[in-house]
Amino acid sequence: MEDQYLGTILLFAGNFLPANFKYCNGDLLPISENQALFSIIGSYYGGDGRTTFALPDLRGTVPIGAGAKPGHASYVLGQAAGSETNTILTSNMPPHNHTVQVAVNNTAANVSTPVIGSTIAAPGTPSGRGSSPTYGYINADPNTPLNGKTAICGNTGSGIPLNNMQPYQAINYIICVNGLYPSRS
Angle at 57 between CA 28 and CA 11, to 5 degrees: 120
Per-domain residue ranges of the chain: 1-60+173-180
pLDDT digits (tens, 9 = 90+) for 52-108: 999 999 999 999 999 999 999 999 999 998 888 888 888 888 887 777 666 555 555
pLDDT of 141 reads 66
The pLDDT, as a whole number, for residue 15 is: 95
pLDDT of residue 87: 87
Residue 7 confidence (pLDDT)? 97
What does the pLDDT read at residue 122?
A: 56
Give the pLDDT score at 16. 96
For the stretch 146-181, pLDDT in tens is 666 666 676 777 778 888 888 889 999 999 999 999
pLDDT for the residue 128? 57
Q: What angle do CA 41, 43, 47 make, to 5 degrees?
A: 135
- Closest to 175 in 3D by CA, of 31, 33, 32, 34: 34
CATH topology of domain 1-60+173-180: 3.90.1340
| Strand partners for 28 | 54
CB burial class (10 A; 0-12, 13-18, 19+) of residue 174?
buried
